[in-house]
Amino acid sequence: MIRAATVDDIAEIRAMIRELAEYERAAEQARATEEQLREALFAEVPAAFVLMAEDDETGQAVGYALWFPRFSTWTGRRGMHLEDLYVRSYARGGGHGKALLASLAAVCQQNGYERFEWWVLAWNEPAIGFYKSLGVELLDEWTVCRLSGEPLEQLAAQAPAVINRTSGKDSCPH
């Protein structure tokens, strides 16, 4: 079964985020707290959304997909960015990953989203093979860029006065 996450799923979502980070060899980078997830996923204006995969027989959470809308200046339309897709190792091969992706594709269709995009680690051959079996196009001409920590702080310090740095929150118009 695939369903929208509820606030009662926060602990399970956080646990699976940690499991995913361990699988991706980056456990130390998964620092989100339950409170941060609660605020991000269930605020008046959520930052992201989660679908849960449950085992039909036991009702236990076996996976999740966390996504958020994005916008393409080229198409002039919204799309979907899948941040996390995770199925617990013991449940892999049971159709949960495909059901999550199909449900997300349906969300795209229902909302008029033109693109459904995500990243996959280059070494994750099982995931790449699975995605290819679904007809996914791998865009190897693009490179992911990330700015964080000290370099992010240094660049932010160079921002013109137009940006409100005193609020500590997103000050760009929505």
C-alpha to C-alpha distance for 173 and 85, rounded to whole angstroms? 30
Residue 167 in this model has a pLDDT that exceeds 80: no
C-alpha to C-alpha distance for 60 and 142, rounded to whole angstroms? 37
- Which is more confident, 152 or 168? 152
* DSSP letter (8 states) at residue 122: T
Work out the percent of the chain whose per-residue pLDDT is above 70: 93
Average pLDDT, rounded, for the chain: 92
From 64, 86, 113, 131, active-site residue: 131
How far, in whole angstroms, is CA 99 from its chain's centroid? 16
Helix (H) or strand (E) segment spanning residue 78 = strand 77-87
What does the pLDDT read at residue 143?
Answer: 87
Q: Which residue has tokens 């799923």?
A: 9
Strands 77-87 and 116-118: parallel
Quick one: three-class SS letters along 16-76? Answer: HHHHHHHHCCCHHHCCCCHHHHHHHHHCCCCCCEEEEEECCCCCCEEEEEEEEEEEECCCC
- 68, 82 in Cβ contact below 8 A? no
In the annotation, is 131 catalytic? Answer: yes
User: What is the per-residue pLDDT across 142-158, written as a single tens digit (0 to 9) for each?
Assistant: 888 989 899 999 999 99
Sheet holding 61-72, edge to edge: 2-4, 49-54, 61-72, 77-87, 116-118
Q: Where does the pLDDT of residue 174 fall: very low under 50, low under 70, confident under 90, or very high at 90 and above? A: very low
Q: What is the pTM of this model?
A: 0.87
Residue 58 in this model has a pLDDT that exceeds 90: yes
User: What is the per-residue pLDDT across 96-152, written as a single tens digit (0 to 9) for each?
Assistant: 999 999 999 999 999 999 999 999 999 999 999 999 999 999 998 988 898 989 999
